[in-house]
Amino acid sequence: MFNKILIANRGEIALRIIRTCREMGIKTVAVYSKADADSLHVRFADEAVCIGPASSSESYLRIPNIIAAAEITNSDAIHPGYGFLSENAKFSKICQENGIKFIGALPEQIEGMGDKSSAKKTMKDAGVPTIPGSEGLLESLEDAIKVAKEIGYPVIMKATAGGGGKGMRMCANEEEVKIAWSSARKEALAAFGNDGMYMEKFIVEPRHIEIQIAGDQQGKVCHLSERDCSVQRRHQKLVEETPSPFMTKELRKKMGDAAIKAGKAVRYEGVGTVEFLVDKDRNFYFMEMNTRIQVEHTITEEVINYDLIKEQIKIASGIPISGKNYEPVGHAIQCRINAEDPLNDFRPSPGKITEYHEPGGHGIRIDTHVYAGYVIPPFYDSMISKLITVAQTREEAITKMERALGEYIIEGVKTTIPFHQELMKQPKFRDGKITTKFLEEWDFKKDMMS
């Protein structure tokens, strides 16, 4: 087992990792930018090293500084959390070369999943359902038009280096394919330096359902059930829940098997997530594989009673997993509380939290790094906390969420709490009739102001 882990991250996830390390008897090293000197992760870790100025590119993303911090503190592993360097193949490789265990995927796995078109081919070859479309990359506009004719409109053009919606265009006809061919490629080239595109049949009003998996160094892979992340705005998840209200026992078995196949296909080590699109007839298709711990791992922990960070660390140190698949017990919902103004296009609202009071009681979990007097810096993402409720049924978890949101006091900055309060009241949400289209169609501003 590791003696000392450096946490290459900040905020709630840095605290989350420190807590598990403490329970496992592993020493911790925090790294921080000048803007985070007063952060709790700095205070709670056994040691802390300043790695640069406020800007991420000069601190949390600066590989040489992080490696140097690991070496001077004699850390034997690095946990990257999510975001920042968590899916950076080069960083994973440099850790390897310096004899530091990267608690995450191997460089070749990150690279393989980072290129969406080749990831799709890997999955298709492994027998995981994929969306009908081009074989690999589109060669030309003529090729794109030909593929679109074969699979039938509507189609979607996607950047192979993409993810999160960048360089992605829905096309209803040939004219739109022509426009997308130049605009999407331009966007992808500017964003990723890679304008490779592929095409798929457009799935109308899909659900985003992802399966948590774990794989060990001995080649065993298991699934830890699903999360429904269909409540998204511009590819930002706002609410996640498990089990999915759309799930059936039969579908979970099929999707779980597919996710395990996906993990085995890349000899996956660690915890990861296989994302699927699910259509109204419960056909499901591989979308992406994430090779990191995710923001929403919390809800899975609550329904399977399992510490996923602990599992990550155990796997990285070579301990085998049990190999058993998990069914969710009860229901968990997570609302992301962001320092953003939902009435103003979710514009970030950094600044000082003047008053802070957390909800409590049975079935409430809050993962956060903030406290009264904390100043949310403008340099990083705007998540303040994750509010999770756990109950025996979905209905009870929603009721508990309404109660908790009502108790939550955060003053000094605008937050997404009022948005979540309105969402919890929505009949479509309460009925679990949620697709990725839901937030586009719901006039939440009108409901929030009435």
Q: Which two tokens stand for residue 332?
A: 């968990």
Among 112, 206, 263, 330, the residue binding ligand MV4 under the rule CB under 6 A is 206
Is 235 an interacting residue with respect to ligand MV4 (CB under 6 A)? yes
Stretch that binds ligand MV4, among 101-109, 194-202, 257-265, 325-333 (CB under 6 A): 194-202
Among 208, 227, 336, 386, the residue binding ligand MV4 under the rule CB under 6 A is 208
Nearer to ligand MV4, 183 or 393 (CB): 183
Is 131 an interacting residue with respect to ligand MV4 (CB under 6 A)? yes
140: how many CB neighbours lie within 10 A of its CB? Answer: 9
Q: Which two tokens stand for residue 384?
A: 């303040």
CB of 270 to ligand MV4, least distance (A): 21
186: how many CB neighbours lie within 10 A of its CB? Answer: 12
Task: Specify which residues 366 forms β-bridges with.
Answer: 387
What gap in Å lies between CA 349 and CA 383, rounded to an integer?
Answer: 10
Site for ligand MV4 (CB under 6 A): how many residues?
Answer: 16
Stretch that binds ligand MV4, among 41-49, 70-78, 196-204, 364-372 (CB under 6 A): 196-204
Is 303 an interacting residue with respect to ligand MV4 (CB under 6 A)? no
Is 295 an interacting residue with respect to ligand MV4 (CB under 6 A)? no
Q: Active-site residue among 292, 336, 394, 430?
A: 292
Burial of 335 (0-12, 13-18, 19+ CB in 10 A): buried
- Identify whether 10 is a catalytic site residue: no
DSSP secondary structure letter of residue 137 = S
Looking at residues 244 to 283 of the shown chain, list those that interact with ligand MV4 (rule: CB under 6 A): 277
380 in Cβ contact with 12 (< 8 Å)? no
Stretch that binds ligand MV4, among 82-90, 202-210, 251-259, 335-343 (CB under 6 A): 202-210
Burial of 25 (0-12, 13-18, 19+ CB in 10 A): exposed
CB of 180 to ligand MV4, least distance (A): 13
Taking each helix axis as running N to C, give the angle between helix 308-316 and helix 11-24, from 0 to 180 degrees, rounded to the nearest 10: 70
Stretch that binds ligand MV4, among 72-80, 201-209, 296-304, 397-405 (CB under 6 A): 201-209
Nearer to ligand MV4, 383 or 439 (CB): 439
Q: In terms of Cα–Cα distance, which of 325, 321, 378, 319 is closest to 348?
A: 378
Nearer to ligand MV4, 1 or 170 (CB): 170
Q: Which residue has the tokens 């925090």?
A: 30
Nearer to ligand MV4, 288 or 340 (CB): 288
CB of 290 to ligand MV4, least distance (A): 10
What gap in Å lies between CA 11 and CA 374, rounded to an integer?
Answer: 12
Is 436 an interacting residue with respect to ligand MV4 (CB under 6 A)? yes
Stretch that binds ligand MV4, among 197-205, 259-267, 307-315, 322-330 (CB under 6 A): 197-205
Stretch that binds ligand MV4, among 89-97, 173-181, 195-203, 302-310 (CB under 6 A): 195-203
Indicate the Cα dihedral angle 72, 76, 79, 80, nearest 10°: 50
Is 202 an interacting residue with respect to ligand MV4 (CB under 6 A)? yes
Is 163 an interacting residue with respect to ligand MV4 (CB under 6 A)? yes
Q: Can you give 325-374 as a three-state secondary structure string?
A: CCCCCCEEEEEEEECEEHHHCCEECCEECCEEECCCCCCEEEEECCCCCC
Nearer to ligand MV4, 163 or 196 (CB): 163
Nearer to ligand MV4, 134 or 368 (CB): 134
Measure the N-to-C terminal CA separation of the chain; round to a whole number of Å.
56
Is 309 an interacting residue with respect to ligand MV4 (CB under 6 A)? no
Nearer to ligand MV4, 241 or 269 (CB): 241
Among 12, 87, 195, 200, the residue binding ligand MV4 under the rule CB under 6 A is 200
What gap in Å lies between CA 359 and CA 353, rounded to an integer?
Answer: 16
Nearer to ligand MV4, 19 or 233 (CB): 233
Q: Is the peptide bond before 359 cis (omega within 30 degrees of 0)?
A: no
For residue 136, give Cα distances in angstroms to 173, 182, 197, 262: 21, 18, 9, 18
Q: In terms of Cα–Cα distance, which of 353, 358, 393 is closest to 376?
A: 353
447: how many CB neighbours lie within 10 A of its CB? Answer: 13
Q: Which residues bind ligand MV4 (CB under 6 A)?
A: 131, 156, 163, 165, 200-203, 206, 208, 232, 235, 277, 287-288, 436
Q: Which residues are catalytic?
A: 292
